[in-house]
Amino acid sequence: MINRTLYLNKLRMYKDKHLIKVVSGIRRAGKSTLLQIFKGEIIGAGVDERQTISLNFEDLAYRDILTAEAAYDYIQSRLLSDRMNYIFLDEVQNVAEFERMVDSLFIKENVDLYITGSNAYFLSSDLATVLTGRYIQIHMFPLSFAEYVSEFDDTTNLAQLYASYINYGSFPQALELFLDSPEAVKPYIQSIYDTVLFKDIVARKSIRQEGTLQDIAKFVFDNIGNPTNPHRIATSLTAAGRKVSNHTVEDYMTALTDSFVLYRADRYDVKGKHILQTQQKYYCVDLAFRQLLSKTLPTDYGRMLENVVFLELLRRYDKVMVGKFGVKEIDFVAVLDDEVHYYQIALSVREDATRERELAAFPQDHHAKFLLTLDPEEGNIHGIKQLNALNWLVKQ
């Protein structure tokens, strides 16, 4: 099993803290495996296995306890009264009114609670209201490029590994299939997408226009890294023969982001220091989805690199936005605690005009500035750090 150190460290940090640990993320990102690894780790450190309770609510074995009361009674009957109980609940959103069950377990003094879910429903406003101040979210992505590379014996050719990463995907199981039978990866990626689309979105959100949902997803996949909005998408789809309202597009885009298929980057006015309400950008959780479903040939490698960098920034920073500085655009403004970093992304800046254009986007202030490219050259240009993007991606 791939050791997901970033997420394990967060679980270690919050172990035995009186907070519900909520691990969120798209299906098959590795959430269940993460909890298994962590459970094994604490048992190895001296916790008696009887102190642990693990339930996966997608398992038919638990089909009779899919209500808040039944699940609570089942877990309550297995609690030890004289020591800490470590409870791991997978896909908890399958339990009706699960937030009531979670809240009831949380108020017990001898419970350390860990839950996972595959869509944002279980972090809805209702749950946030019930559990205000009582949970910490640990958001889990598919494999980072560094995690992906760690599974290969020969890592000398990062460019070749990057090509397989963006074409075959970053889901842990996809990597295992790629190493054994590359031809099996595409059907697997399709199965994940279909499950998320039809189980997490269509069924849960009671969506009637499945074809419209598919077309909206494909449109966004084709336009990753481009400013967009519901009106633009509705206009494009209507022109192509699928009449759809702005409101429907907005609802379906929310569903796609709630299920972690897409991530939104808001625009931030660097000068005015406020979030802009228009022309957000969207990025795909895994480029293999895009390769599978996009209507265009995968030739826009610059935007694909931008997508990979955006997801990596989400792993490393608290907040990531698209920067607006007058008429210029900064690819990303990343914030960690009180520190602000600027990032520009380009395939190459070997041509003078391209380099000057990318550098000109940076504001003249004291914040750290980075130019990430696929050029092998690295260095410092008037205080701006030029780095090879693949080297930067593999450095944790």
Q: Which residue has the higher pLDDT, 236 or 121?
A: 236
Q: Report pLDDT for 127.
A: 63
| Mean pLDDT for the stretch of residues 275-290 | 92
| Mean pLDDT for the stretch of residues 303-329 | 95
Residue 296 has pLDDT above 70, yes or no: no
Q: What is the DSSP string of 178-243?
A: HHH-GGGHHHHHHHHHHHIIIIIIIIHHT-S-HHHHHHHHHHHHHTTTS-B-HHHHHHHHHHTT--
Instruction: Answer for the pair 298, 291: CB distance below 8 angstroms, yes or no.
Output: yes
Global pTM reads 0.94
| Mean pLDDT for the stretch of residues 191-202 | 91
pLDDT band at 85 (very low <50, low <70, confident <90, very high): very high
Q: Report pLDDT for 272.
A: 85
Strand locations in the chain, DSSP E? 20-24, 52-56, 85-90, 111-117, 135-139, 262-269, 274-284, 319-325, 328-336, 339-345, 368-373, 379-381, 384-388
**Mean pLDDT estimate for the chain:** 93
Q: Report pLDDT for 122.
A: 61
Residue 93 has pLDDT above 90, yes or no: no
Q: What is the C-alpha to C-alpha distance for residues 201 and 95, in angstroms, rounded to an integer?
A: 17
Q: Report pLDDT for 346.
A: 97
pLDDT one-digit tens code per residue, 6-62: 999 999 999 999 999 999 999 999 999 999 999 999 999 999 999 999 999 999 999
Q: What is the DSSP string of 303-340?
A: HHHHHHHHHHHHHHSSEEEEEEETTEEEEEEEEETTEE
Instruction: Answer for the pair 185, 288: CB distance below 8 angstroms, yes or no.
Output: yes
| Mean pLDDT for the stretch of residues 254-264 | 93
Q: What is the C-alpha to C-alpha distance for residues 288 and 170, in angstroms, rounded to an integer?
A: 8
